[in-house]
Amino acid sequence: MGPDAPVDAVAREAALVRRAQAGDAEAYGDLVTMHQAAAFRVARLLAGSAAEAEDAAQEAFVKAYLALGRFRAGAPFRPWLLQVVGNEARNRRRALGRRTGLLDRAVIAFRGSAGAGGPSPETAVLLGELRDEVRAALLRLRDEERTIVACRYLLDLSEAETASALGVPPGTVKSRLHRAMGRLRSELGEAGPATEAVP
């Protein structure tokens, strides 16, 4: 549930959280239903493939259930959940990263495409859905900037949720986003040269 959720929806979510904390698996199932799309998309963005994202999101939901005792009553559930999802997805990505030298070489050989410094094949697939000029501009961003823009505008996460999902301080989200928007403004030809934010 996002930051602008109606009051009754917030109350319903809080009630589901309380029931789930008491061990009601069906109530937790309702929470999963409410947030599985956002969780899966965040995992898709961070973990890589759709299959890896599905595993990461599922594992994150289970870990979040086990950790519900730590969840502070009355706090918004989605940012907390997305933090768990982000951690799980990044951990999986890192685990894969230990093999990426081999994997990347093989994939590049197989697909016949280089890509040093470019987006991963999975990100390229995602970006492939965007309009050409926007995609081209995003592809020229640094990976960390592209990820933040994707969280904010493709996933429609708040800055706080973006920070939770990516495991970075909110100030870092702000500064990277500012930089990225400056670059995009320049790339999309709407204004003059990009401005640099003070980190």
Partner 1 sequence: MAGDERQVETQLRAAAAAVAWPPTPDLRSAVVARIARDGLVPGPAASPVPSGVARPRPAMLRLARPLAVALLALLVLAGVAAALGFRLPGLEILRTDQVPPAGAGLDLGSPVPLADALARDQPRVRIPAALPPPDTAYELGAGDRRIVTLAYRATAGQATLAGSDLALTVMAVPGSLDERLITKLVGPGGTIEPVSVDGSPGWWIAGAPHEILVLRPDGEVGVVTSALAGDTLLFARDGTLYRLESALGREATIAIAESMD
Check binding of 96 to partner 1 (CB under 8 A). yes
Separation between Cα atoms, residue 9 and residue 58, nearest integer Å: 23
Amino acid at 145: E
Which residue among 51, 73, 114, 198 contacts partner 1 (CB under 8 A)? 51
The answer to whether 42 and 159 are in contact (CB under 8 A) is no
Tell me the window of 8-16, 81-89, 139-147 that interacts with partner 1 (CB under 8 A).
81-89
Task: Please say which residue, 10 or 197, places its beta carbon nearer to partner 1.
Answer: 197
Contacts (CB under 8 A) with partner 1, residues 128-157 = 129-131, 134-135, 149, 153-154, 156
Q: Give, in order, the Cα–Cα distances in Å from 121 to each of 24, 124, 134, 151, 196.
A: 40, 5, 18, 18, 29
Torsion angles phi and psi, residue 192, rounded to 5: -75, -160
What are the structure tokens assigned to 52, written together? 């890896």
DSSP H helices in 128-169: 132-139, 143-149, 159-166
Residues near partner 1, by CB under 8 A: 20-23, 25-26, 28-29, 32-33, 36-37, 39-41, 44, 49-52, 54-55, 57-58, 61-70, 83-84, 87, 96, 99, 102-103, 105-107, 109-110, 122, 126, 129-131, 134-135, 149, 153-154, 156, 167, 181, 184-185, 188, 190-191, 195
